[in-house]
Amino acid sequence: MTSLPAGASISIVTSSPGLDYASIEAVVTVPTFRRPQQVLETLQSLRSQKTKRRFAVVLVENEAEKREGAAAAKSWFDDGLLQGMLIIAHDRGNCCAYNAGFLTTVTYFPNFKYALVVDDDELADPDWLENMCATAERLGVDVVGGPQIPVFARPEHSKWAAHPVFSAHYRETGVVPILYSSGNMLLSRKVMDTMGPPYLDLRFNFMGGGDSDFLSRTAQRGFRLAWCNEAIIRETVPERRVEADWIRARSLRNGVISTLVEKKKRAGTPFANTKVFVKSLLLLGASPFRGFLKLCKTGSISIALYPVYIGAGRVMAEFGYANEQYRQPEKN
């Protein structure tokens, strides 16, 4: 009987009756934390996928005490509404949840070709999975990312869609040099076998950015990356996330992550830390000018401040600043 490695802080709650693990081609990991209603909507979007590929869902409950998401979703697996597994990742944190899902995937699904990720505040369009897999095959790549289109709580908040915190880095399908987010991601079996476990670095566990670091490392290892603009995920954006202090904190955090990821990338090379620090100072120095250009182009003060916050966050990271937004989920 297949089992998880000794010491893995993971419990199997249930799995779909008669689940044929060996026949599954794609596995979708869905980490969830204190969003019992939203995760059901996420699962419904996966149940509605239009594809002939055999796929399974691994739902990762990261609230090990109340387990509200697991309680809400358990019948979906017990009754066979979804093919897959429901697990508990007992070690709390963003990276721990992702790692638990990936480890379960490679342990229980011997013939999977693709591992995908959707977060519990996201809805996948019906053709999402097929578009992701087909893009990987057509372009011959090992990693695919796609757009996370923000869906705001109020119509008047839609103006925030153009802000760098919410907007996509690419607009067209094709091979790209780097990806940044795991919220809409496909990884080939080769990537999974090469990169882990562990997959995401736990130093990013409550800050976020473990996905950016992981994707940076996959590119360094020579894996080819692509963007699929047709593989759409729609992300719910609560009112809290359009408040000025949240935008500022997320922008600073992105700067911190940028420094930490670049330091890891340059590790072992001459004067690595000095080069990163000098680059951060230069970016901070140039940020008022870059911000002014953005202000002229967009008319948005918030967008204009983004490069300033990025530069400040990069420099602050040199002095130990870390904005761990995921430690207080109620404020995130």
pTM for the full predicted model = 0.94
Q: How far is the C-alpha of 324 from the C-alpha of 178, rounded, in Å?
A: 24
Identify whether the C-beta of residue 154 lies closer than 8 Å to the C-beta of residue 239: yes
CATH number of the 10-239 domain: 3.90.550.10
Q: How far is the C-alpha of 272 from the C-alpha of 274, rounded, in Å?
A: 6
pLDDT for position 330: 62
Which residues of the chain does CATH 3.90.550.10 include? 10-239
DSSP β-bridge partners for residue 31: 60
pLDDT for position 1: 52
pLDDT (tens digit, 9 = 90+) per residue, 12-36? 999 999 999 999 999 999 999 999 9
As given in the structure block, the two tokens for residue 82 are: 């979804």
Identify whether the C-beta of residue 23 lies closer than 8 Å to the C-beta of residue 83: no
Helices (H), the chain: 36-47, 68-78, 94-108, 128-139, 189-195, 210-220, 244-266, 272-298, 301-317
As given in the structure block, the two tokens for residue 234 are: 């729609």
N-terminal to C-terminal alpha carbon distance within the chain? 40
Identify whether the C-beta of residue 64 lies closer than 8 Å to the C-beta of residue 94: no
pLDDT for position 246: 93
pLDDT along the chain (332 residues), means of 10: 80 96 98 97 98 98 96 97 97 95 97 97 98 98 97 91 94 96 95 94 91 96 98 95 93 94 92 94 96 95 96 94 74 66
